[in-house]
């Protein structure tokens, strides 16, 4: 249908039209009726679960091919206490008198659940109302009708509710659900059930207008235009860490949000380290340079940006490694050798198992020359106290002289492969002592120039930067440190899934420090590749706070599955409106529209998307 005055198309909704003004209705005596061209059936929910999960109503409300109606009736405290007491007494009496074990269990559970509901009313001063939910299924033909009925029964059962077809009451039920009639008392008598009002409102996907942590900073507004105040460092039962994941296609607004969070954290005194693949954070770096707190570093090495991979640094431990470290006292060197194992697998994926073993043997011998053994503490060692790649190369040359005949060929190949990192084109990246200073509050590693490198070199340097970032995050438990990994998919390598494992373990360990890891990506599918999914999926799933901007195609399908979207949440993300996203913080989900003052947008510089 076209509105001639304003010249825009209005899509017709045949389901609603048929419900409001049906061409004809034929009520059959039992469990169905025919309305216009639809086969229909109306159900009522007869029992709600004692505890409801967040968003439970939205799962019922968004079933395709249905019309859902909720009516509520206020109840005075005296009436509800009296009614609940009768339910408890009747259930306990039936449980005592029945010989059916299953029936006894059900009645006992009903009494216990109702008792807990009364306790919640008394302790939390919760308001209770009677709610009646009716669901009308509309099918195009017999097959479609049966499929939709089965789906409705399955979904409603899945949220813990009990459903009943209103046999011989379909006409009254249709009047009850239709906007053309007042609620029918008979249907209310059948379907009304007491429920805490907050439990009902908590069942919608974007309920409770406003998100306010009390302290923090402004992000934008929610679906009702209420300001959202966010504190990255707030921890509670549902928000167990300060990590965030930001997902969305190019131009949807994710980088603008990241920049705003970075500036807000810098103002609050947080130390921020960014791995920047597109030179998008230089404007912010320049803005804070006047205060002497920022440093912009070309991640392709050089005089001020060298990070020595052979410098022993702490490693974020997996749960298994932490348990082993506590029981066996694994040394700093042993843990760093595991980090180097990932480093060299990324850089030289062609290494054989024999060559890897020879490399490890050479590394241990090299560290011994520098008096770094299994018992050495590196806490007070200077950057220049550690070996560099030239030292590793020379150690392998020495070992080659005394190598057994069976491994000489492998030794020769290994030495040849390491020539490039020692004296060749790659030496500018990794052959030298660490010159990177960590005393700035805001550090940006610009990886733009890495685009011309091979995939192996890019992944390796990204990993090297990340290991240095973890050293800063874990150095002082009292210092708040936020590390931003933009376009983290660059670290994904199906042949070396340990790289993603390192990122996952960094997220897990950050919560035990004053640390936060922000992972941003426009590529979700790669994180769910079967070869890396075990390690990569938690990188997006572990953060307590998530911002999901517009996605499409395979990425939309992947993120919908990953975060178990409701239909309403999927529609929000699929719409792809700029600066609008689904925000998931702990157990809450809401629509966020990023709205920043013009002054802040200018501070963020051009290029934010």
* For residue 84, pLDDT beyond 80: no
Average pLDDT of every residue of the chain: 84
In whole angstroms, give the CA distance from residue 346 to residue 339: 11
**Four-residue CA torsion sign, 370, 373, 377, 383:** positive
* For residue 71, pLDDT beyond 60: yes
Does some domain include residue 544?
Answer: no
Q: Are 173 and 41 in contact (CB under 8 A)?
A: no
CB atoms within 10 A of CB 72: 14
Give me the residue label for tokens 């042949």. Answer: 495
Based on its alpha-carbon atoms, the radius of gyration of the chain, rounded to whole angstroms, reads 31
- Nearest CA to 345 out of 252, 459, 435, 266 is that of 459
Q: How confident is the model at residue 400 (pLDDT cuts 50, 70, 90)?
A: very high
Beta strands in 32-150 (DSSP E): 33-35, 38-47, 66-74, 128-139
In whole angstroms, give the CA distance from residue 163 to residue 46: 6
Average of per-residue pLDDT across 153-171: 89
Angle at 586 between CA 162 and CA 592, to 5 degrees: 100
Q: Tokens in use for 470?
A: 């973890």
CATH code for the domain in which residue 398 is found: 1.10.8.730
Maximum pairwise Cα distance, the chain: 96
Does some domain include residue 182?
Answer: yes
In whole angstroms, give the CA distance from residue 559 to residue 552: 10
In whole angstroms, give the CA distance from residue 167 to residue 42: 9
Q: Are 79 and 175 in contact (CB under 8 A)?
A: no
Q: How confident is the model at residue 125 (pLDDT cuts 50, 70, 90)?
A: low
Residues 338 and 196 in one domain: no
- Nearest CA to 217 out of 274, 271, 275, 257 is that of 257
- Among the candidates 387, 405, 424, a domain finishes at 424
Q: Tokens in use for 266?
A: 């810098």
- Among the candidates 424, 455, 482, a domain finishes at 424
94 class by beta-carbon count within 10 Å (0-12 exposed, 13-18 middle, 19+ buried): middle
Does some domain include residue 512?
Answer: no
Top-confidence range, 80-84, 488-492, 579-583: 579-583
Does some domain include residue 503?
Answer: no
In whole angstroms, give the CA distance from residue 258 to residue 281: 10
- Nearest CA to 260 out of 541, 491, 592 is that of 592
Inter-CA distances, 525 with 406, 451, 583, Å: 44, 21, 20
Q: Are 517 and 483 in contact (CB under 8 A)?
A: yes
Residue 134: phi, psi to the nearest 5?
Answer: -120, 140
Least confident of 16-30, 126-140, 272-286: 16-30
In whole angstroms, give the CA distance from residue 471 to residue 256: 27
Angle at 564 between CA 560 and CA 565, to 5 degrees: 60
Number of domains present in the structure of the chain? 2
Give me the residue label for tokens 């060299």. Answer: 344
* For residue 330, pLDDT beyond 50: yes
- Nearest CA to 396 out of 366, 354, 423 is that of 366
Average of per-residue pLDDT across 160-185: 89
CB atoms within 10 A of CB 473: 26
Q: Are 349 and 456 in contact (CB under 8 A)?
A: yes
Does some domain include residue 573?
Answer: no
Top-confidence range, 119-123, 221-225, 410-414: 410-414
* pLDDT tens string 201-233: 666 655 445 688 888 999 998 887 888 999 999
Question: In the prediction, which pLDDT does 303 show?
Answer: 65
Average of per-residue pLDDT across 129-134: 90
Instruction: Considering only residues 6 and 238, tell me which one the structure prediction assigns the higher pLDDT.
Output: 238
- Nearest CA to 106 out of 162, 52, 44 is that of 162
Residues of the chain with pLDDT > 70, as a percent, come to 88
In whole angstroms, give the CA distance from residue 181 to residue 206: 29
**Please, what is the end-to-end C-alpha distance for the chain in angstroms?**
36
Does some domain include residue 153?
Answer: yes
Question: In the prediction, which pLDDT does 608 show?
Answer: 44
- Nearest CA to 63 out of 163, 136, 14 is that of 136
SS3 state at 162:
strand
Question: In the prediction, which pLDDT does 203 show?
Answer: 67
Q: Tokens in use for 29?
A: 């005596």
Provide CB contacts within 8 A for 461, sequence distance 6+. 299, 300, 429, 447, 450, 453
Q: Are 573 and 548 in contact (CB under 8 A)?
A: yes
Does some domain include residue 273?
Answer: no
* pLDDT tens string 291-319: 778 888 888 866 677 899 999 987 766 65
Residues 196 and 336 in one domain: no
| DSSP code, position 405 | G
* For residue 440, pLDDT beyond 50: yes
Q: In which domain, by residue range, is 398 found?
A: 331-424
Q: What is the pTM for the complete model shown?
A: 0.65
Helices (H), 329-407: 332-347, 353-369, 389-401
Does some domain include residue 447?
Answer: no
In whole angstroms, give the CA distance from residue 274 to residue 291: 18
* For residue 335, pLDDT beyond 50: yes
Residues of the chain with pLDDT > 90, as a percent, come to 35
Three-state helix/strand/coil letters over 478-539 = CCCEEEEEECHHHHCCCCCCHHHHHHHHHHHHHCCCCEEEEEEECCCHHHHCCCCHHHHHHH
- Among the candidates 150, 178, 201, a domain finishes at 201
| DSSP code, position 579 | T
* For residue 393, pLDDT beyond 80: yes
Question: In the prediction, which pLDDT does 441 show?
Answer: 93
Q: Which residues pair with 79 in a beta bridge?
A: none
Q: Tokens in use for 534?
A: 């075990």
Distance of CA 331 to the CA centre of its chain: 33
Helix axes 353-369, 332-347, angle to 10 degrees: 130
Question: In the prediction, which pLDDT does 45 show?
Answer: 93
Q: How confident is the model at residue 8 (pLDDT cuts 50, 70, 90)?
A: very low
SS3 state at 466:
helix
Instruction: Considering only residues 65 and 117, tell me which one the structure prediction assigns the higher pLDDT.
Output: 65
Q: Are 332 and 486 in contact (CB under 8 A)?
A: no
Average of per-residue pLDDT across 341-361: 94
């Amino acid at each position: 249908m076209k509105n001639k005055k304003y010249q825009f198309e209005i899509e017709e909704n045949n389901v609603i039209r048929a419900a409001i003004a049906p061409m004809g209705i034929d009520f059959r005596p039992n469990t169905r009726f025919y309305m216009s061209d639809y086969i229909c059936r109306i159900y009522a929910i007869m029992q709600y679960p004692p505890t409801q999960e967040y968003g439970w109503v939205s799962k019922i409300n968004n079933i395709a091919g249905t019309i859902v109606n909720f009516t509520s009736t206020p109840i005075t405290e005296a009436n509800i206490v009296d009614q609940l007491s009768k339910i408890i007494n009747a259930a306990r009496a039936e449980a005592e008198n029945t010989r059916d074990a299953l029936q006894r269990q059900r009645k006992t559970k009903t009494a216990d659940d109702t008792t807990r509901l009364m306790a919640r009313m008394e302790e939390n001063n919760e308001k209770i109302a009677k709610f009646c939910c009716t669901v009308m299924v509309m099918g195009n033909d017999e097959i479609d009708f049966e499929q939709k009925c089965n789906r409705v029964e399955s979904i409603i059962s899945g949220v813990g509710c009990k459903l009943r077809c209103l046999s011989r009451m379909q006409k009254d039920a249709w009047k009850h659900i239709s906007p053309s009639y007042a609620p029918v008392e008979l249907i209310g008598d059948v379907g009304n059930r007491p429920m805490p009002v907050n439990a009902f409102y908590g069942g919608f996907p974007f309920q409770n207008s406003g998100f306010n942590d009390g302290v923090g900073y402004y992000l934008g507004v929610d679906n009702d235009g209420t300001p959202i105040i966010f504190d990255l460092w707030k921890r509670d039962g549902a928000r167990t860490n300060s990590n965030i994941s930001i997902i969305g296609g190019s131009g949807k607004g994710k980088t603008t949000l990241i920049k705003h969070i970075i500036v807000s954290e810098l103002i609050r005194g947080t130390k921020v380290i960014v791995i920047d693949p597109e030179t998008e954070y230089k404007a912010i770096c320049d803005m804070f340079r006047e205060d002497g707190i920022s440093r912009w570093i070309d991640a392709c090495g050089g005089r001020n940006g060298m990070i020595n991979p052979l410098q022993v640094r702490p490693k974020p431990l997996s749960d298994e490694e932490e348990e082993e470290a506590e029981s066996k006292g694994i040394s700093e060197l042993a843990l760093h050798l595991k980090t180097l194992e990932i480093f060299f697998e990324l850089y030289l994926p062609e290494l054989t198992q024999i060559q890897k073993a020879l490399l490890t043997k050479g590394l241990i011998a090299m560290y011994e020359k520098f008096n770094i053994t299994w018992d050495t503490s590196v806490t007070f060692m200077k950057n220049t106290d550690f070996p560099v790649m030239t030292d590793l190369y020379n150690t392998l040359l020495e070992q080659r002289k005394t190598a057994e005949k069976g491994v000489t060929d492998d030794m020769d190949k290994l030495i040849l492969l390491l020539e490039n990192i020692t004296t060749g084109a790659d030496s500018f990246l990794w052959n030298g002592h660490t010159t990177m200073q960590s005393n700035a509050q805001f550090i940006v590693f610009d990886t733009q120039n890495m685009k011309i490198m091979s995939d192996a070199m890019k992944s390796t340097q990204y990993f090297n930067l990340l290991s240095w970032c973890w050293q800063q995050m874990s150095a002082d438990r009292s210092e708040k440190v936020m590390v931003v990994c933009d376009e983290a998919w660059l670290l994904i390598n199906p042949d070396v899934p340990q790289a993603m494992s390192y990122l996952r373990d960094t997220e897990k360990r950050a919560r035990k420090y004053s640390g936060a890891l922000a992972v941003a990506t426009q590529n979700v599918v790669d994180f769910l590749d079967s070869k890396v999914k075990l390690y990569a999926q938690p990188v997006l799933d572990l953060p307590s706070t998530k911002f999901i901007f517009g996605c499409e195609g395979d990425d939309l399908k992947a993120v919908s599955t990953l975060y178990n979207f409701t239909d309403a949440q999927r529609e929000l993300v699929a719409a792809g409106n700029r600066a609008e996203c689904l925000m998931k913080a702990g157990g809450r989900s809401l629509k966020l529209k990023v709205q920043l003052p013009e002054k802040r947008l200018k501070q963020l510089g051009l290029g934010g998307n």
